[in-house]
Amino acid sequence: MKSLFTIKSGGPASWALRVVAAVVIGAVVLTVPTGDSYPLMNQFTTAFMLMAAAMSLNLLLGYTGQISLGHSAFFGIGAYATGVFVSRYGWSPMWTFPAAFVIAFVVGALVSLPALRIKGVYLALVTLSLALVFPQFIKWRKLTWLTGGPRGLDKAGFNFGRKNRTYEIFGHDFFGDMRGQGAIPFFYWVAFAVVVITYVVCRGVVKSRAGRALIAIRDNETAAAVMGVNVAVTKGLVFGISAGLCALPGCVSTIRTNNVVPDSALITVIGSITFLIIMVIGGAGSLWGPILGAGVYVLVVEITGDWSNEDNIPGLLRPLFSWSSTPPGTGIFAISLIVLMFVAPFGLLGLLKKWTARLVSVRPKPAGTTTIEFTSSALVAEDAST
């Protein structure tokens, strides 16, 4: 398909587009916490957490094709690392982030060992059972001294009180005396920082030699091995990084609520499914897909949240959902998941790219100098040939 404009990747026009995008995103991110709308900030914080988790899953699933339904366990590891270190050992909350990353990295690398032999749906089965076992493991009575059993852990975040008026981050008080202020903007920025870190790491992995190795493994493992890719090390490393990154939003969730319980939704298998839904709806195998997906997810959940009460449903949609005794969010996502597989396997971002390709197409740099963005170039190429 012919597009209206063709611009070179890395050329001035392409940079101009990037700057515009960065300015728009920056403006939104900076504007949200200036108002006193705490609900909005809370929604953004939730969206940031889901973004980071879905991005970490995307690194594994979108780029190496290894299906993981166990990311809620890694999220839970993060949540419990923070909880245990702060509540039981009196750490400063921020220091638990790197610790959680390391623990989850090690666990992830261990899980990847069977993953080297187990593929496809079997791996999904193994990770699914991991996700189901994790909350049980936390409740295990042999571990109650550490995890607090079914009741979880209290006082697991910043104990902001009369004596302690600052949020200490690695020994510095960036925020100064927080007396009289809510903690919500603080959590907003922590969650945002986690998203940025996750994005940078994912981008670094994907657009590097390792990333090309990953895509090679995904598309044809045997061929990749023949070409000299060390499949075992690459897979283990990526599984570890993905798990470690997924632990970070877990840490955020603990310091945000100041406690952690084994039955909170994102730690159970529901979390894994949520991350997967976000990733698939946004667009698997692209860096911005999970970001878009998490935004849409939180938006839809927010809008449909009170739809169990019939009067809150907008007029046109009322006949569709009025019979439901629970909010229809989950059902909408389930249906859109199935529909997307029919019409747009690359998710909303894939659709977006397909449509904008009619307007502007970005010509990639010549082979060898460029970084590979598999899905988008494949889609554009497909369009060009038809």
Partner 1 sequence: MERFLQYLFDGLSIGSVYALMALGLVIIYRGTGHLNFAQGEMALFSTYVVYQMGEWGIPIGIALIIGLAVGFLIGAATEVFLVRPVAKKSAFAVFIVTLGLFQGLNWLDSAIWGDQVLPNSAVSKQQQFPTLFPNKSTDFVRILGAEWRLKYLGVLLLVLVLTAVMFLVFNKSRAGLAMRAVASNSESAKLVGIRTHQVLMVSWGLASAIGALGGVVFAGINGTVNLNLMFTVFIYGSAAATLGGFDSPGGAVLGGLMIGVIENMAAGYFPDWVGQEMKLGLAFVVIVGVLLVKPSGMFGTAKVERV
Interface residues with partner 1 (CB under 8 A) are: 65, 67, 114, 117-118, 120-122, 124-126, 128-130, 132-133, 136-137, 139-142, 222, 269, 273, 276-277, 280, 323-326, 328, 330-331, 333-335, 337-338, 340-342, 345
Residue 164 and residue 117: Cα distance in Å, rounded?
51
Beta carbon of residue 139, minimum distance to partner 1 (angstroms, whole number): 5
Cβ proximity to partner 1: between 53 and 276 the closer is 276
Query: Smallest gap, in angstroms, from Cβ of residue 220 to partner 1?
Result: 10
Of the candidates 304, 280, 243, the residue with the CA atom closest to the CA atom of residue 106: 243
Q: How far is the CB of 377 from partner 1 (least distance, A)?
A: 18
DSSP string, 230-281: -HHHHHHHHHHHHHHHHHHHHHHHHHHHT-B-TTSGGGSHHHHHHHHHHHHH
Instruction: Provide, rounded to whole angstroms, the least separation between the CB of residue 314 and partner 1.
Output: 18
Between 173 and 219, CB nearer to partner 1:
219
Which residue's CB is nearer to partner 1, number 16 or number 334? 334
Q: Report, in Å, the least distance between residue 324 CB and partner 1.
A: 4
Closest distance of CB 162 from partner 1, Å: 39
Q: How far apart are CA 19 and CA 15, in angstroms?
A: 6
- CB < 8 Å & 24+ apart, contacts of 263-267: 263/135, 263/150, 264/79, 266/53, 266/72, 266/75, 266/76, 266/79, 267/72, 267/73, 267/75, 267/76, 267/79, 267/134, 267/135, 267/138
Q: Which amino acid is at 220?
A: N
Give min distance, CB of 226 to partner 1, in A. Answer: 9
Three-state SS string over 107-166 comes to: HHHHHHHHHHHCCHHHHHHHHHHHHHHHHHHHHCHHHHHHHCHHHCECCCCCCCCCCCCC
Nearer to partner 1 by Cβ, of 280 and 348: the residue is: 280
Pick the closer one to partner 1 by CB: 70 or 250. 70
Which CB atom, from 196 or from 335, has the smaller least distance to partner 1? 335
CB 190 within 8 A of CB 252: yes
Task: Kindly tell me which of 27 and 121 has the beta carbon lying closer to partner 1.
Answer: 121
